[in-house]
Structure 1
Amino acid sequence: MSDLAIPQVKSTSLFPSGFVRDSAAYILSQQLPDGSIPWFEGHFADPWDHVEAAMGLAIAGEFAAAERAYRWLADIQLADGSWWAAYKNGAVDNGERRETNFVAYVATGIWHYYLISGDKKFLQRYWQMVERAIDFVLGLQTEHGEIHWAVDADGKPREDALITGCASVYKSLECAINIACELDCARPEWQRGRSALGEALQHKPERFDRTWESKARFSMDWFYPVLTGAISGEAARARIQQRWDEFVVTGLGCRCVNDEPWVTVAESCELTMALLASGQRTRAEIIYRGLHRWQDSDGGYWTGYVYRDEAVWPEEKTTWTVGAMLLAADALADLTPASGLFTSVRLLSDTAQDAQGVDCFDQLELSGSQG
Structure 2
Amino acid sequence: MTPPPCGPHSRIERLALPGVLTTAQVTRTVAGIAALQRPDGAIPWFRGHHLDPWDHVEAAMALDTAGEHARAEAAYRWLAEHQNPDGSWYAAYADGDAHAPTDRGRETNFTAYVAVGVWHHYLSTGDDAFLDRMWPTVRAAIEFVLRLQRPGGQIGWKREAEEDGGAAVADALLTGCSSIHQALRCGLAIAEHREEPQPGWELATGRLAHAIRHHPERFLDKSRYSMDWYYPVLGGALTGAAAKERIEEGWDAFVVPGLGVRCVLPNPWVTGGESCELALALWVMGESDRAVAILRWIQRLRAEDGLYWTGYVFDDDALWPEERTSWTAGSLLLAAAALGGDEATTTVFGGELLPAGLEPGPSDASACCHGLPVDGLR
TM-score by length of 2: 0.88
Q: SS where residue 23 of structure 2 aligns?
A: coil
Q: Give a deviation string over 1:113-148, Cα, whole Å, max 9, x none.
A: 111111111111100000000000011101110000
Q: Secondary structure at the match of 1:254?
A: strand
Whether contact under 8 Å (1:14, 1:329) holds in the other structure is no
Please say if 1:80 is aligned against 2:86.
Answer: yes
CA positional deviation for 1:235: 0.7
Instruction: For structure 2, list consecutive stretches of 5 or more residues without a partner in the other structure.
Output: 1-6, 359-378
Q: In structure 2, what is the Cα distance between the partners aligned to 1:172 and 1:269?
A: 19
Distance 1:90 1:140 in 2: 24
Distance 1:350 1:136, change over 3 A: closer
C-alpha distance in structure 2 between counterparts of 1:349 and 1:220, whole Å: 22
**Cα pair 1:229 1:345 within 8 Å, conserved:** no
Q: Pick which of 226-235 and 10-19 moved more.
A: 10-19
Q: Is the 8 A contact 1:59 1:336 kept in 2?
A: no
1:164-219 CA deviation, whole Å, 9 max, x = no partner? 0000000000100001111111111111100000000011111111xxxx211000
Given that residues 163 and 201 in structure 1 are in contact (C-alpha distance below 8 angstroms), is that contact kept between their aligned partners in structure 2? yes
Contact 1:51 1:105 in 2 (8 A): yes
The residue aligned with 2:62 is: 56
| Unaligned segments of structure 1, at least 5 residues | 352-371
Asked if 1:150 corresponds to 2:158, the answer is yes
The structure 2 residue matched to 1:331, chosen from 338, 341, 354, is 338
1:11 Cα offset (Å): 4.6
Alignment: residue pair count: 347
Aligned residue among 136, 140, 162 for 2:148 = 140
Q: CA deviation at 1:6?
A: 4.6
1:348, CA displacement in angstroms?
4.5
1:74-124 per-residue CA deviation (whole Å, 9 max, x = no partner) reads: 111011100011112342333441000000000010011111111111111
In the other structure, the counterpart of 2:237 is 230
The match for 2:172 is 161
- Residue 129 of structure 2 corresponds to residue 121 of structure 1: yes
Q: Secondary structure at the match of 1:41?
A: coil
Structure 2 letter corresponding to 1:197 = L
Percent of aligned pairs with the same residue? 49
- 2:113 maps to a residue whose letter is Y
Does residue 1:205 correspond to 2:205, yes or no?
no
Contact 2:185 2:356 in 1 (8 A): no
Q: Write 1 or 2 for the structure with the bigger share of helix.
A: 2
Q: Which structure 1 residue ranges, 4+ long, deviate > 6 Å from structure 2?
A: none
Provide the rounded CA distance (Å) in 2 between the counterparts of 1:233 and 1:106: 27
Which residue of 1 is the match for residue 38 of structure 2?
A: 32
Residue number among 184, 189, 196 corresponding to 2:195 in the alignment: 184
1:48–1:349 distance in 2 versus 1, CA, 3 Å: closer
8 Å contact 1:107–1:175 — kept in the other structure? yes
2:182 corresponds to 1:171:
yes
